[in-house]
Amino acid sequence: MKTEPRLLALGPLRHACHACGTCCQGWRVALVDQLERARIQRAARHLGIADPIVDGALRQRDDGRCVFLTDDRLCAIHATLGADQKPKVCQQFPRRATLAEDGYRVGLDPACTSTHRSWRAGPEVDPLPAMQEERRLPADVAASEQGLIRLTRAPGATIPFFVGHFIGDPRHLPALPPPFSARACTLLGALDLASVASLQGPDVASRVAHLVPRLPTLDPAAPPPLALTPEHDAFALEVVRRQLFLRLGDPAVPPFVQALLILLGVLAAAWSEPPTTATPPDPQRLPEALSAWARLVRAPRFWQRLLPDLARARWLVTGAST
Ligand code: SF4
């Protein structure tokens, strides 16, 4: 008898949608079948929207916004006809399910830019139904992924601790190793963030807009300290953990590079905050930038500029060029 794959989760799935509309931009919303296509055509006729479907997916406007997204950031189908009339993918986001070799991994996509608002104490949501994808990894790669996920959950884990393990220092480091920070400055300083951020729609780009002028000013000779609040540090590890567990990155990128890509986002976002002695920073800005980054790094055009190959990733970790 065929047994169903186990359902695996990192913990309770806590989420509250804040109707920000960010997930309604820049993503291709594929319609699952003829019934769904007919339902969307009916909804479009009702709402007076022409040509709602292009190549089997919802049409996007020139800036990437869904054709059904209203100016007040609501889904016109949801607002007028009810949530159950939206495409399935939209009903399910940010729930995700990945069929891995150990079972169905269910969780919440950290690219929802409101993740930080409800990840600790939001209402529990049912893990299913969820957007599903199959991603199986060879045993050695899966073991490395599990090792990284375990590290994010180690007692007292912080971002410096996590980076320390990458560079072979298993102590609970109080700060980032300066050579690692210097190399991160070099990579981030060369990233043309403005041109790649717009790929995912105006709201994602706006969440990282404050990083754009900051990154080219990063000086590898004088890397800034990493000043994360404990809550932002914990959230950053949560983003790494979810991205790895749900295998949300580009399948071409191995887990340890996925983790590095998110880490670079943590540094970019943290280094773009004003010093604590100046105007108190907006506590939502960093986690929202990180969620936007978690989405951006999935695009080949983005990660290929930052860490195009294993050699660059190893250089970031060790400083050794090959
Ligand atoms: S990004 Fe998150 S909070 Fe915003 S509309 Fe989508 S699910 Fe809701």
What value does the mean pLDDT of the chain take?
A: 94
Q: What is the mean pLDDT of residues 13-28?
A: 94
List the residue whose alpha carbon is closest to atom 2 of ligand 1.
Answer: 112
The pLDDT tens digits for 98-117 are 999 999 999 999 999 999 99
pLDDT of 179-188, one tens digit each? 999 999 999 9
Query: What is residue 168's DSSP assignment?
Result: T
Pocket test for ligand 1, best of 66, 77, 113, 288 (most atoms within 8 A of CB): 113
* Ligand 1 centroid to residue 94 C-alpha, Å: 7
Model pLDDT, residue 128: 87
- What does the block give as tokens for 14? 């806590």
Q: 10 Å Cβ neighbour count for 158?
A: 21
According to the model, what pLDDT value does residue 203 have?
A: 92
Cβ atoms of residues 35 and 88 within 8 Å: no
User: For residue 42, which of 92, 82, 72 has the smallest C-alpha distance?
Assistant: 82
- Residues 199, 293 contacting (CB under 8 angstroms): no
If one residue of 13, 18, 115 were mutated to test the ligand 1 pocket, choosing by the most ligand atoms within 8 A of its CB, it would be: 18
Q: Which atom of ligand 1 is nearest to the CA of 18?
A: 3
- How far, in Å, CA of 38 to CA of 199, rounded? 29
pLDDT digits 0-9 by tens, 249-264: 999 999 999 999 999 9
Q: How far is the CA of 17 from the centre of ligand 1 (A)?
A: 5
DSSP-derived letter for residue 215 is G
| Span of 130-139, 202-211, 274-283 with lowest mean pLDDT | 274-283
- State residue 196's pLDDT score: 87
Buried b (16+ CB within 10 A) or exposed e, 65-82: bbbbbbeeeebbbbeebe
Q: For residue 3, is pLDDT > 80?
A: no
CA 186 to chain centre: 22
Tens-digit pLDDT profile for residues 259-286? 999 999 999 999 999 876 666 678 899 9
Greatest CA separation found in the chain?
65
Q: Which atom of ligand 1 is nearest to the CA of 115?
A: 2
Q: What is the DSSP letter of 30?
A: B
pLDDT exceeding 70 applies to what percent of the chain? 98
Helices (H), 107-201: 115-118, 139-152, 159-166, 178-189, 193-197
Q: Given phi > 0 = left and psi -120 to 50 = alpha, else beta, which region is 138? A: beta
Nearest CA to 119 out of 321, 290, 308, 307 is that of 290
Least Cα distance to 57 among 101, 82, 88, 80 occurs for 88
The pLDDT value given to residue 278: 61
Portion of the chain with pLDDT greater than 90, in percent: 86
Look at residue 280 in the predicted model and tell me its pLDDT. 66
The residues facing 106 across adjacent strands are 9, 97
With bands split at pLDDT 50, 70 and 90, how would you rate the model's confidence at 129? Answer: confident
Instruction: Report the pLDDT value the prediction gives residue 173, as an integer from 0 to 100.
Output: 83
| Confidence category of residue 6, pLDDT binned at 50, 70, 90 | very high
How large is the average pLDDT for residues 159-170? 91
Contact of 305 with 248, CB cutoff 8 Å: no
Query: Would you state the pLDDT for residue 282?
Result: 87
The whole-number pLDDT of residue 199 equals 78
Ligand 1 pocket (Cβ < 6 Å) reads 17-23, 93-94, 112-114
User: Are 53 and 31 within 8 A, CB to CB?
Assistant: yes
Banded model confidence at residue 25, pLDDT cuts 50, 70, 90: very high
Residue 105 pairs in a beta bridge with 8, 98
* Rounded-to-integer distance, Cα 284 and Cα 229, Å: 12
Of all protein residues, the one whose alpha carbon is nearest to atom 4 of ligand 1 is 20
198 φ/ψ angles, rounded to the nearest 5 degrees = -70, -10
DSSP symbol at 143: H
The pLDDT value recorded for residue 23 is 95
pLDDT digits (tens, 9 = 90+) for 81-92: 999 999 999 999
